[in-house]
Amino acid sequence: KVVFTTLMVGIWGHSVRTSLQVGLGLAQIGEFAFVLANQGLSMGLMTKQVYLVLLGVTAVTLFLTPWVFQLTPALIRSFPVDDHSSADDIEMQHASTDEEEEAEQEGDDTSHLE
C-alpha cells in the first residue's frame, strides 16, 4: 500500500518527499478492516487462517502508525529538497497538530484563531 500510494502521488507530479509522506501517512490498515474481515469470515469468503492473519496485520499497523508518523520527517530528509515541501514544513505541521490536540484536551479551542 505504501509503495503503490507513493508511486501514484509521484505520477501525479509531486516530489519524492511529498509522495513518501503521503504513502507513509496512509500505511495503516484502518479499524474498519476488523468489520470487513469478520463479515468475510461469517459469509465464508475467507478461511479462519486468512482471517487471523488479517487481524494480526491490522493490529500491527495500528500499533506502529504513531512511530511511523514520528519517523517520517527524518526519513524524508534523506531525499532531495523540492519546491512543494520540506522536512521542516512537515515538522511544523506535526507540531501544530500536537498543539491543537493539547488545546482541545485542555478545553481551549484555538482553531478559530487561524
Which segments of the chain have a pLDDT < 70?
80-114
Tell me the whole-structure pTM to 2 decimals. Answer: 0.49
Give the pLDDT confidence score for residue 86 in this predicted structure: 45
Give the pLDDT confidence score for residue 34 in this predicted structure: 85
Q: Are 19 and 6 in contact (CB under 8 A)?
A: yes
Give the pLDDT confidence score for residue 92 in this predicted structure: 47
Give the pLDDT confidence score for residue 87 in this predicted structure: 46
CA 31 to chain centre: 13
Give the pLDDT confidence score for residue 22 in this predicted structure: 83
Q: Are 68 and 23 in contact (CB under 8 A)?
A: no
